[in-house]
Amino acid sequence: MQTCTHCEGTGFLNLDQAPELDPDDIKGVLQWIATHENHDIQVCNCCGDGEEWYGTPGQHYGPDDPPGDSGPYRYNGGLCECN
Protein backbone atom coordinates (compact mmCIF):
# COMPACT_ATOMS: atom_id res chain seq x y z
CA MET A 1 0.00 0.00 0.00
CA GLN A 2 0.99 3.61 -0.48
CA THR A 3 0.21 6.43 1.95
CA CYS A 4 -1.81 9.23 0.40
CA THR A 5 0.26 12.40 0.42
CA HIS A 6 -2.75 14.59 -0.39
CA CYS A 7 -4.27 14.00 3.06
CA GLU A 8 -1.01 12.96 4.73
CA GLY A 9 -2.46 9.54 5.46
CA THR A 10 -5.41 10.76 7.54
CA GLY A 11 -8.10 10.15 4.93
CA PHE A 12 -9.42 13.69 5.42
CA LEU A 13 -8.72 17.08 3.90
CA ASN A 14 -8.55 20.29 5.93
CA LEU A 15 -8.50 18.43 9.23
CA ASP A 16 -6.43 21.27 10.67
CA GLN A 17 -9.65 23.31 10.86
CA ALA A 18 -10.65 21.21 13.89
CA PRO A 19 -7.44 20.38 15.77
CA GLU A 20 -9.39 18.67 18.55
CA LEU A 21 -10.33 15.83 16.19
CA ASP A 22 -8.35 12.61 16.27
CA PRO A 23 -7.81 11.39 12.68
CA ASP A 24 -7.64 7.81 13.97
CA ASP A 25 -11.25 8.15 15.18
CA ILE A 26 -12.78 7.96 11.72
CA LYS A 27 -16.36 7.57 12.97
CA GLY A 28 -15.89 10.53 15.31
CA VAL A 29 -14.56 12.75 12.53
CA LEU A 30 -17.40 11.75 10.21
CA GLN A 31 -19.92 12.49 12.95
CA TRP A 32 -18.28 15.88 13.61
CA ILE A 33 -18.46 16.73 9.89
CA ALA A 34 -22.15 15.83 9.79
CA THR A 35 -23.01 17.95 12.82
CA HIS A 36 -20.94 21.09 12.17
CA GLU A 37 -21.11 23.84 9.57
CA ASN A 38 -18.67 26.47 8.32
CA HIS A 39 -15.75 24.15 7.67
CA ASP A 40 -14.11 22.54 4.66
CA ILE A 41 -13.22 19.19 6.24
CA GLN A 42 -14.09 16.30 3.96
CA VAL A 43 -13.12 12.79 2.98
CA CYS A 44 -9.97 13.01 0.87
CA ASN A 45 -10.69 13.30 -2.83
CA CYS A 46 -7.51 11.40 -3.70
CA CYS A 47 -7.88 8.20 -1.65
CA GLY A 48 -11.64 8.58 -1.96
CA ASP A 49 -14.26 10.50 -3.88
CA GLY A 50 -14.84 13.26 -1.33
CA GLU A 51 -17.61 11.33 0.39
CA GLU A 52 -16.31 7.76 0.78
CA TRP A 53 -12.92 6.09 0.51
CA TYR A 54 -11.98 3.65 -2.22
CA GLY A 55 -10.40 1.35 0.35
CA THR A 56 -8.48 2.11 3.54
CA PRO A 57 -8.68 5.82 4.50
CA GLY A 58 -5.37 7.54 3.78
CA GLN A 59 -3.99 4.64 1.75
CA HIS A 60 -3.85 3.63 -1.91
CA TYR A 61 -3.62 0.35 -3.77
CA GLY A 62 -5.05 -1.96 -1.16
CA PRO A 63 -7.23 -4.95 -1.97
CA ASP A 64 -10.32 -2.73 -2.31
CA ASP A 65 -8.68 -0.19 -4.63
CA PRO A 66 -6.20 -2.04 -6.83
CA PRO A 67 -4.08 -0.08 -9.29
CA GLY A 68 -4.74 -0.39 -12.97
CA ASP A 69 -7.35 0.39 -15.55
CA SER A 70 -10.11 -1.49 -13.70
CA GLY A 71 -9.69 0.17 -10.28
CA PRO A 72 -11.10 3.45 -8.96
CA TYR A 73 -8.20 5.40 -10.51
CA ARG A 74 -8.91 4.26 -14.07
CA TYR A 75 -9.79 7.87 -14.98
CA ASN A 76 -6.12 8.73 -14.29
CA GLY A 77 -4.45 5.83 -16.06
CA GLY A 78 -4.78 3.62 -12.98
CA LEU A 79 -2.77 5.96 -10.75
CA CYS A 80 -3.94 7.90 -7.72
CA GLU A 81 -3.74 11.70 -7.90
CA CYS A 82 -0.80 11.96 -5.48
CA ASN A 83 1.23 9.20 -7.16
User: Can you give the pTM of this predicted structure?
Assistant: 0.85
Instruction: Name which of 35, 41, 37, 34 is nearest 16 in CA terms.
Output: 41
Summarised one tens digit per residue, pLDDT across range 8-47 is 999 999 999 998 999 999 999 999 999 999 999 999 999 9
Q: How many helices (H) and strands (E) does the chain have?
A: 1, 4
Q: Is 2 helix (H, G, I), strand (E, B) or coil?
A: strand
